[in-house]
Structure 1
Amino acid sequence: MLRFLVLPVLLLATPAFAQAPSGTPPGQPPVAGSTRPDPSAARTAELDRLFEALRDAPDSIGGQLVEARIRAIWAREVSPAAGLLMRRGLRNLSNNVPDEALEDFDAAITLQPEAADLWLMRARALAALGNRIAAAQDLREALRLEPRHFGALVELSELLLDAGDAEGALRSFDAALELHPRMAGAEERRRELRRRAFGDAL
């Protein structure tokens, strides 16, 4: 069973009627009207392309390669300081000390509440501590920040199954499969969820 896998910059506003000078001295910041790359738009466009490739992956190996690129983009959103705390939290989870992991993930989220992966990690720690309600809330926040986070959907499926909601677990897993049809082990896992939800007759 898959279990518990799992600074703002102040911009100086320039009046809309300001005209760009004919030549900007070297070292001066760009003025309104100049073209500047939008990192958020570039990230979204890259993710859009990757999710399309994920849906069209010919097999699980191809799917895993695209999945790794998507996860790398998500990981780049975590700052070095928050990432250090996250990695320490993951080590604590691996060492079966979820209470210490929870402290690490709490601190990481305080530093960077907009990073979906941090909410996912904290959900794992909360679930390991038996707090399913708080874990589900963290997973929903991860999905609010990153609606296509198939990893959070899989975690939510596991959480629902542990809570006795097999049909809800199946729905959540199916939502993950819509995003990532070639997920490793998906076919076998979905059969098990259907059996748990509807019985052996299906």
Structure 2
Amino acid sequence: MRYFRFSPLILAATLAASPTLAQTAAPSPPAAPTGTQAAPASAPKPANPLDPLFEALKRERDADKARGIATQIMTDMNESGSATVDLLMQWAATAIKEKRNAAALDFLDQVTLLDPAYPEGWNRRATLHYTMGNSRKSMADIAEVLKREPRHFGAIAGLAGILMENGRDELALKAWEDYLAVYPADRDAQEAVTKLSEKIAGNRT
């Protein structure tokens, strides 16, 4: 399954509601004592460093140049910022290569627990679930990817592929259209949209 903005309507139509990760609310800061100056507000979070790359991918119409941008996006998304998570991802990749899927799944479970905000951990596990024949779990993990990074074109493509395999052509078409909204120069996705559109039109006649 390939690495992949996704419509919430598609997710609602194809996935059972999956439990969300529990979040503990941070306590409210104590009020500043009378006569003292309140601490300055914290600085705004820096912009997502992937934003310029996604904007460039959306504008690029040359397929080869777009592929280079897409590769850079995937490289950057693989970086977790945690040595522990990176090591677990490496162990999972090795286990998958050696066809030790149970071990790989255990490593990826640990990744999603240690850093649930890291989209690639969910995406890698979605791919593994798919290769193990569990499309339902794969789609549930894809939903988690897209909560964190709706522009993850690899996850969108994966979902579109599963929908096509299950005969959900109209939903698959919507998924590919969402994919092209992120990565418009992908010729394979363009072809998939054309073929699905023709198939759906033919079925309606």
TM-score bracket, normalised by the shorter chain, equals: 0.7 to 0.9
2:175 aligned to 172, 176, 184, which one? 172
Q: Secondary structure at the match of 2:50?
A: helix
Fraction of identical pairs, as percent = 27
Is 1:93 matched up with 2:96?
A: yes
TM normalised by structure 2 equals 0.73
In structure 2, relative to structure 1, the CA distance for the partners of 1:197 and 1:67 (3 Å cut) is: same
Is 1:181 matched up with 2:193?
A: no
Cα displacement (A) at 1:73: 3.3
Q: Which residue of 1 aligns with 2:46?
A: 42
Aligned amino acid, residue 120 of structure 1: N
Q: Secondary structure at the match of 1:152?
A: helix
The count of residues paired between Structure 1 and Structure 2 equals: 182
* Pairwise CA RMSD: 3.2
Q: Which residue of 2 aligns with 1:123?
A: 126
Aligned amino acid, residue 130 of structure 2: A
Give, in whole Å, the separation in 1 of the partners of 2:95 and 2:199: 32
- Give the greater-gyration-radius structure (CA): 1
Structure 1: segments with no counterpart, 5+ residues: 21-31
Cα distance per residue 1:35-56 (max 9 Å; x no partner): 75x5xx4242x33322221111
Q: Which residue of 2 aligns with 1:149?
A: 152
Give, in whole Å, the separation in 2 of the partners of 1:14 and 1:65: 49
Give, in whole Å, the separation in 1 of the partners of 2:148 and 2:197: 29
Structure 2: segments with no counterpart, 5+ residues: 4-25
Give, in whole Å, the separation in 2 of the partners of 1:182 and 1:95: 34
Q: Secondary structure at the match of 1:42?
A: coil
Q: Which residue of 2 aligns with 1:163?
A: 166
Give, in whole Å, the separation in 2 of the partners of 1:119 and 1:150: 14
Q: Secondary structure at the match of 1:151?
A: helix
Give, in whole Å, the separation in 2 of the partners of 1:111 and 1:63: 33
Give, in whole Å, the separation in 2 of the partners of 1:180 and 1:74: 16
Moved more, 66-75 or 168-177: 66-75
Give, in whole Å, the separation in 1 of the partners of 2:204 and 2:63: 28
In structure 2, relative to structure 1, the CA distance for the partners of 1:167 and 1:95 (3 Å cut) is: farther
Aligned amino acid, residue 157 of structure 1: A
Aligned amino acid, residue 140 of structure 2: Q
Higher relative contact order (CA 8 A, sep 6+): 2
1:33 aligned to 32, 36, 40, which one? 40
Moved more, 180-189 or 149-158: 180-189
